[in-house]
Chains A and B, each alone.
Chain A
Amino acid sequence: MPPASSRIVLAKLGLDGHDRGIKVVARMLRDAGMEVIYLGLRQTTDSIVAAVEQEDADAIGLSMHNAGHLTLGPAMLAALDEAGLDVPVIIGGIVPDDDRPILDDAGVAAVLGPGASAEEVVTTVRAAIDFASAGGDETA
């Protein structure tokens, strides 16, 4: 049996049609040997929670290019918390430097900005999965 691949759900949360970046990231993660469950545009926190449950995902990657990250990021974490899921959330896209600490404090595992290399993307995702599976953000 081959070793189990990591599974990550990638989604655009909310009203945001900029999906070029997330498709590039999907390809980067695929080429690193991960199974990418691609949900596409106009997802809701509910649809992402349902997908994470059904797909038994190890991580969630959200692409944000509409300045909604300070609202939607914490909303995603709250929805996961409510569902009892302790899956790391990684946000990619346009996030001003000043907002990063706010997202960190809210519990976002990592933020990846424009220009992140494939290596950086893969390393960040792997680290977030490893940290969570080691019980890094254990919830009751």
Chain B
Amino acid sequence: MSLRQVPIDQVIERALNGDRRAIGRLLSLVERGGDDAETIETATHVRARDSHVIGITGAPGAGKSTMVARLVAAFSAADRRPAVVAVDPSSPLTGGAILGDRVRMAEVDTTAFIRSVATRGHSGGLALSVPGSARVLAAAGFDPVIIETVGVGQVEVDVTAAADTTVVVVTPGMGDAVQANKAGLLEVADIFVVNKADLPGASDARRDLELMLELSHVTGQEDADHRPPIIMVNSLEGDGIDAVRTAIAEHRDHLVTTDRLQERRRKRARYEMRVRAELAFGAHLQRRLGEPEFAATVDSVAQGDDTPAAAARKLWQPYA
């Protein structure tokens, strides 16, 4: 019998007991949102708190999926139970997607759990549902939960709000020291991986990152207790993967011993609350705008008699 006909409470119970089909089903319901997603959140939120959530991000083609596959194998070999949420983009035109991360993960043991997720219209490098998906996997006993973002450019840093530890993957030839000092992606790394380190330019990439970190030290921006390590990796051969795993564990220890884990989770709480509230509030405002009492205001903006800013204030001020 298909799980689609089973009451949600039973699916949740099976998932929490490790039934993989039930976990897969819950993840679909979380992606869909709505009442079922909220029921699942209630059942999984508190159970999820002990798993380490790791974000892996970097440019398209940096080798994130291949590295994640190696990392999963390394965690499995160390008797952990890793799971992966791998995000790829949805087409803005049709909503369709080709989710290809599993191609790079073919060697991964089937005891690990890999879920491919489409962004479904959300920018920022993740899908809206990703924190909820990570919660389901953590509550089902997976630890760590690895979130692999879509290939990102410079500013898509949603993953830092979803993860305890963020690994930024760069490759040789990513640009010079000026690129490294631009704001954005490189600021959010807890760990740097220079992947494809067998290629020419790998030591230059390392030097540019080191210089950037030096400047963070000079300007006082860095976390005084944690300087992001830079790890040279060749994911195809597996070189450096154990060093990445060790660095991730050390960062987790650092977060726990300095109470920064709670700080990050408060940041995550604020982020999730804001995103949910924005969605609900946005839908509410959209409804209000269609009501007769706003018809005259809408007309006056359209005709140029009123400014959008002033009219918008009439809309939101009652809630401020």
> Which residues on A are within 8 Å of B, measured CB to CB?
1-2, 4-5, 7, 26-27, 29-40, 42-43, 46-47, 50-51, 53-56, 83-86, 133, 138-140
Contact = CB atoms under 8 A, between A and B. Distances in A.
Nearest to A9: B102
Given A5-B118, A35-B90, A39-B103, 16 more contacts: A1-B32, A1-B33, A5-B95, A5-B97, A27-B98, A30-B94, A31-B94, A35-B97, A40-B100, A40-B103, A54-B23, A54-B24, A56-B28, A83-B21, A138-B1, A138-B2
A136 to B, nearest CB: 11
B110 interface: yes
B94 A32 contact: yes
Interface of B: 1-2, 4, 20-21, 23-25, 27-28, 31-34, 90-91, 94-100, 102-103, 106, 110, 113-116, 118, 120-121
B217 to A, nearest CB: 43
A7 B96 CA distance: 9
B98 A36 contact: yes
Nearest to A34: B96
Contact of A53 (B24, B31, B118, B121): B24
Nearest to A7: B28
B95 A39 contact: no
A47 B4 CA distance: 22
A15 to B, nearest CB: 14
A53 B106 contact: no
A54 B96 contact: no
A38 B94 contact: no
B96 A140 contact: no
A95 B25 CA distance: 33
B114 A54 contact: yes
